[in-house]
Amino acid sequence: ADGELVQYHYGLKDLVTILFYIFIAIVLHAVVQEYILDKINRRLHLSKVKHSKFNESGQLVAFHLTSVIWCLYVVVTEGYISNPRSLWENYPHVYLPYQVKFFYLCQLAYWLHALPELYFQKVRKEEIPRQLRCISLYLLHIAGAYLLNLTRLGLILLLLQYLAEFFFHMARLVYFTDENNEKLFNVWAVVFVVTKLFTLTLYILVIGFGLPRVESQALDPERGNFFSFLFNNILFRMSVLLLVCLFQASVMWRFIHFQLRRWREYWNEQSSRKRAAAGTKQQTKLLKRDSGYHENGVVKAENGTSPRTKKLKSP
């Protein structure tokens, strides 16, 4: 009422809050699985492998869509998009608005709840290492941005990442319902490239130009200043940018390799279908010849002679 703005900091009590929302995430996961995904699976009659992938993509589509809408609302209302300088101005961003703190706690709770879900969902042993690697990377980046006071930059990066992931898993769901429909994969490919370009641009803008201009350049863990004094060193700054560019290049290389393999499989499938169709036509022609065919109005036999018996001339 008096116009005071309440802000928050991280602490040990966050662990209790995260634990509470882990249970909430498990309940919501079960609701989506039972009332939406299981009903669709009964109609599609998918194999065990496709059934597992369908459930994974279905859960992630619901999560990514919710997170994209929520994250977009936060960055717009907080003015991070309209004022990009706010991503590094007044660093360190120790005190957070309520919606920013709550968003990060819910994100950590969701990815921590994914660990017991590997057991509840009876994920195949072959899929566990891949999913553990994905969960660990998300937890590392989200917790790192939260604890190192880079929450504003982390919000924009999460928005871009979740947007690309939403289209990918949505394309997989459509593909499982109709294997001939791969149009959404093309949409995902475009969105993936655009988001990666924005991500790289954002890294260069914040690391190369933003953080080096922060007023407080001294290491001060008590105030949450962990980075600005490092980025003041041009050698360290260029090394970090080089590592970021190499990482993004490796991601793009894997993406290009995946797309080339998918297009190669598509063209091989199309050529095999054409060969099969040509073989069917050739076999049909041979069958017609074997059973006799018409030529110039005269029925021909197998050896090309007329089926009529020849009349013997009298001597």
Q: Is 26 a residue whose pLDDT tops 60?
A: yes
Per-residue pLDDT tens over the stretch 75-114: 999 989 888 888 888 777 888 999 999 999 999 999 999 9
List of residues 6+ apart from 153 with CB closer than 8 A: 87, 88, 145, 202, 206
138 close to 115: Cβ distance less than 8 angstroms: no
Task: Give me the percent of the chain exceeding a pLDDT of 70.
Answer: 81
173 close to 57: Cβ distance less than 8 angstroms: yes
Enter the pTM of the model.
0.79
- What six digits make up the tokens of 52? 């597992």
Coil, helix or strand at residue 295: strand
Distance separating alpha carbons of residues 37 and 58, to the nearest angstrom: 7
235 close to 196: Cβ distance less than 8 angstroms: no
Distance separating alpha carbons of residues 154 and 147, to the nearest angstrom: 11
Range in 14-18, 60-64, 159-163, 220-224 the model is least confident about: 220-224
Structure-model confidence comparison of residues 133 and 224, the more confident one? 133
Q: Is 205 a residue whose pLDDT tops 70?
A: yes
Per-residue pLDDT tens over the stretch 10-22: 889 999 999 999 9
Q: Is 71 a residue whose pLDDT tops 70?
A: yes
Distance separating alpha carbons of residues 163 and 198, to the nearest angstrom: 12
**Mean pLDDT score of the chain:** 82
- How large is the average pLDDT for residues 57-78? 95
